[in-house]
Structure 1
Amino acid sequence: MSDHPVAPVAAHEPPYYAVVFTSVYTEEDKGYAETAERMEELVRDVPGYLGMDHAHTPGGLSITVGYFRDLAAVEAWRSDPEHRTAQKQGRAQWYEAYTLHVARVERSNAFRRPRD
């Protein structure tokens, strides 16, 4: 995946939606990094896309949370033809297991330590 700044996505005015994708990879990663990078480029063009956070545990669990203004934006991303192709390839090749949760965010706030 591409490099991300070490900072969470900014808080947004609710309501909005969080799409939580939690996965465990297979040993087969050929083409994954390139596809993940392309998906990150592609999702930025979805009207209503707000940002994305990534985290990986030492044990191999990967969590990606995408934030979207409304369900129309979530659906636009879900049904994008290039994204659908990547989803099929993920099930066939890259993922041992995954879960997907779509949640409505009712409250959102943020903290950033002031810099001297």
Structure 2
Amino acid sequence: MSDHSEAPVAPVAAYEPPYYVAVFTAVRTADQSGYSETNARMEDLVKDVPGYLGMDHAQTPGGLGITVGYFRDADALTEWRSNAEHRAAQKRGRAEWYQNYKLHVAKVERSHGFTRAGR
């Protein structure tokens, strides 16, 4: 998605399972005209979906972008998938911004986390 230079340096919390994740991995094209604005709009829009839990992003030096969206249940994920603005952004992404991408959706059965105590 975006470079997220202002994003906090902490992963999304470990939630009580079950919940769902949508893992989007992509390599973008050279022409990214309009991508940042659309991406920012999608990040704002998904927050309005009841059951949306959060999102993590990573970018490899080689250009592979990874976004993981967390959703409380399948209905929340379905609502996001069927959102008209999101569908339009997907269509534009295929036409302009992505060289290739993969989407994996999974039901999380186990989740835990660790945070080092402050010094």
Q: Distance in 2 between matches of 1:79 and 1:115?
A: 42
Q: Alignment partner for residue 99 of structure 1, among 99, 102, 109?
A: 102
TM-score (norm 2): 0.95
Runs of 4+ in structure 1 over 3 Å off: none
Query: Match for residue 13 of structure 1?
Result: 16
Q: Distance in 1 between matches of 2:87 and 2:7?
A: 24
Letter aligned with residue 63 of structure 1: I
| Offset, 1:4 | 1.2
TM-score (norm 1): 0.98
- Does residue 1:60 correspond to 2:91, yes or no? no
| Offset, 1:6 | 0.7
Gapped runs of 5+ residues in structure 1? none
Deviations 1:40-87 (A, max 9, x none): 000000000000000000000000000000000000000000000000
Q: Distance in 1 between matches of 2:40 and 2:8?
A: 15
RMSD: 0.7
Query: Match for residue 75 of structure 1?
Result: 78
Helix, strand or coil: the match of 2:37?
helix
Q: How many residues align?
A: 116
Give me the identity figure in percent.
66
